[in-house]
Structure 1
């Protein structure tokens, strides 16, 4: 991943210097687990494709993810002050700059993704997937469902899973779908979609668990924020133990789907094991 970090660092070199560029780089290079790029690289490896072939798309997805975090942290959304152990973008700079930095990362993502070395048709498929999975029928749909859920007196488990599927699952599915395009294995996309959905549900359930069991130092962000905002979470509906059981169940579903594919799944399996055992 060190080579990818170096690549990511230079993706903004062509952007003119400004306060917005400073904020873009501040948030993009603030650390993080780089789960989405790692998923893309693991799937490429499963098909025998070198990970460098996916650098432009992985960087684009990380830009989209970072923009979503910048906007999530804004006062109008989650109003958070800490992200990846550092002040959130609007706290470090100001609210207007943070909004513009998020906008700029989203649009820059499509410029970077267009640099992937593949056919014009597959490049179009990748760019379409970026918009589809992050847009009004993808991650953003999950975000508005989440906001609407906060305004309700109660949210059912089914409604919460629906929010998770879109808000978290879509951006975890996206790198695997894009890897299929790069590897020219479109026929496997339907299975990777099932894997991505299961991973997304397991991942977000874990986030809800960690919000009540971890520390601010471990997570690199504020804890108990959902509780203080009186927000329905998986833990509030199922308890910590029930949530842990369900997180494992969805992880097992993802593993079962993975085993149905004829691929070299070692790196994907290793990454999924890291995810289910994560502490932050």
Structure 2
């Protein structure tokens, strides 16, 4: 399976998973309202940010397909920028839930009880388990082909854990009448969301501003390579960072006369020299083919 086909497959899986979790998020919001459960609200807030992360991953996958002909890691920067927004939402939502949970706990201390519909709460949590399980099944086969799919696949397990916590909370409230456990569960879920959001923010800020590597522009590299006498055209040009080192990949098509004289090795040496002297790139992956080769 080639890279473009893999991206298309990943895109389909992400789109299906987004549809499944978006439908349940709406159900969860209604369930939280009618159950009067802060724990369900916390789970819904967590799922909202999860869906926005899915949406960003879907956009990145779409752009990877669109720019497959001249593709760099620009779409990865889009993912990081989206992750920065999502991480900020994580922190805001989790802080709001923690504040509401603390306020309810304070109300319990002053005997200000909040009536909770445990039937609606447990039903919503059970539906959540089924929806998230379906999403996990969709993502399972594609988890090894795409970093995006793998990240969402792992996140889905945390969603499943969250619905289990909510279900157990509803059972405890129904059995004991201790409604304060709803606030405690919401705070527990929010602390986890806060931790996840902090890690996401750190990774995105580091990737965007402190990676220490500045990638050369695709157009400049392409223009420089086309000045070499042996080259007819350049496509599938890739610029990316691997272990803090810039790597260039390109599909090179030789001119007709160079093919006859077998100048491919000379061309390779000239390309490597241009990349090193003009762009300080010492690592490259080059595919050199004859004039008139077919490519997408």
TM-score relative to the length of structure 1 = 0.27
Between structures 1 and 2, the one with greater strand share: 2
TM-score by length of 2: 0.26
Which of the pair has more CA radius of gyration?
Answer: 2
